[in-house]
Amino acid sequence: MQCDPDPLLKENLALRKELENLKSESDKYTWSVKKITNDDVKTKFYTGLPSFAVFMWLFKYVCKANDNSKIPVMNNSELTPLYPPLHSHFYLF
């Protein structure tokens, strides 16, 4: 005798798959520094800066200059905001 799968389990699996698809779809519309990492052409296009190395130099300079301010600091190894999100304060383009 074979039992039908639990309807809640099937719905849960379908919703998880939908969530995964939506997350990957949202990456297309979300700007991240990952889009320009080690790509001078994209760095120039998105920021106007000549290279990713210049972008990183400027990024580190701005973070260091703001150590004593309330502007958020970024984790340079991951380039993710620590507190609060950087995009709520200024833009790089």
Evaluate whether residue 63 is within a structural domain: yes
Does 2 fall in a domain? no
The answer as to whether 73 is a domain residue is yes
Q: What is the pLDDT of residues 45-84, one digit of tens each?
A: 989 999 999 999 998 888 887 765 555 545 555 454 444 4
Domains identified in the chain, total number: 1
In a domain? residue 14: yes
Please give the average per-residue pLDDT across 23-45, as a whole number: 87
75 within some domain: yes
Residue 56: give the domain boundaries.
7-88
CA quadruple 44, 47, 49, 51: dihedral positive or negative?
negative
Q: Is residue 83 part of a domain?
A: yes
Rounded to whole angstroms, the Cα distance separating 80 from 73 reads 9
For residues 64 and 8, give the distance between their C-alpha atoms in angstroms, rounded to a whole number. 51
For residues 16 and 73, which has the higher predicted lDDT (pLDDT)?
16
Please give the residue that has the higher pLDDT: either 32 or 53.
Answer: 53
Please choose, from the candidates 49, 77, 55, 82, the residue with its C-alpha nearest in 3D space to the C-alpha of residue 67.
82
Predicted local distance difference test score (pLDDT) of residue 84: 44
